[in-house]
Amino acid sequence: MRPSPIAGQWYEGEPKALVRSVDSYLDHTQLPELRGEVIGVVAPHAGHQYSGPVAGYAFAALRGRTPDLVAVLSPFHNLHNAPLLTSAYDAYATPLGTIPIDDVSVQELNTLLKSSLGFGLTRISNDPEHSLEIELPFLQRALKSEWKLLPIMVRAVEPRVSQALGKALAKVLQGKNAILVASTDLSHYYTQESALAFDNVMLSKIEAFDPMGAFEAEREDKGFACGLGALTAVLWACKELGADTVKILNHATSGDVTGDYSGVVGYGAAAILKTK
């Protein structure tokens, strides 16, 4: 079981306090009408006190759902040689309980990736990565079923890798009762004015359901997403699974929480829908 390296620091470490905190973020959302089935969401991954109000929108869109499997794709903020990573453990632990990893799905995805890319998922242990785990308490409170986790940490920031990952992931999830989560923050450490401009460009690419456009925005320094590889893989996977619409649910910056607008981090939430 993977012990949490961030509970009590990035989010509340005591179970009852964590329940109150996460439920508060979920309860204080005002979602627009979402027509169709939400098959994926985009959520930020800073500490809950900073990005929790925005993340609440993403997971409120999943509230009450009863999936069997949740694929969470995040960046990997630490040093490693492998382009695609997964956990070497059997389960993730948070203060709200343990979440088993679906090893069958991990192995199936690994096989497909080796066939299409020539490499698969590298299993790691003792990883300090926060951006995948930070979403788990929200999922534990929003979902109403016993579900397994397919954890993927994406180091590669290449359209070829993200598209192949998305297509392979869709094959693994096809016909299953599954949900996808893309974990990403937006621009980092620009002034509030600049951050809003950069984030609006990236959010427009996300809402246009344009993963290649997201890569182009970052390449042209017009918009940024620290989890670009994970975000675009989820968009491509959802396209393969029949999604046709992305709805931006909320956007804010760290400055909206701290009051310091001199160097902010952008946070966005979105729902990916199958309307037809």
| pLDDT averaged over 10-residue windows placed end to end, the chain, 276 residues | 96 98 98 96 98 98 98 95 97 98 98 98 96 98 97 97 98 98 98 98 98 98 98 98 98 97 98 96
Where are the domains positioned within the chain?
Answer: 15-274
How wide is the angle at C-alpha 62 spanned by C-alphas 140 and 134, nearest 5°?
Answer: 45
Answer yes or no: pTM beyond 0.85: yes
The reported pLDDT for the residue numbered 276 is 87
Compute the distance between CA of residue 14 and CA of residue 8 in angstroms, rounded to an integer: 7
Q: Give the CB-side neighbour count of residue 179, counting CA atoms within 13 A.
A: 28
The reported pLDDT for the residue numbered 89 is 98
Distances (CA, A) of 272 to 5, 90, 129, 155, 199: 30, 29, 25, 23, 18
Structure tokens at 59: 């997971």
Distances (CA, A) of 270 to 32, 148, 176: 11, 22, 22
Compute the distance between CA of residue 162 and CA of residue 167 in angstroms, rounded to an integer: 9
Terminal Cα distance for the chain, rounded: 40
The yes or no reply on domain 15-274 and CATH 3.40.830.10 is: yes
Distances (CA, A) of 111 to 11, 117, 210, 236: 35, 10, 27, 19
The reported pLDDT for the residue numbered 79 is 84
The reported pLDDT for the residue numbered 132 is 98
Structure tokens at 84: 């695609």
Compute the distance between CA of residue 135 and CA of residue 232 in angstroms, rounded to an integer: 18
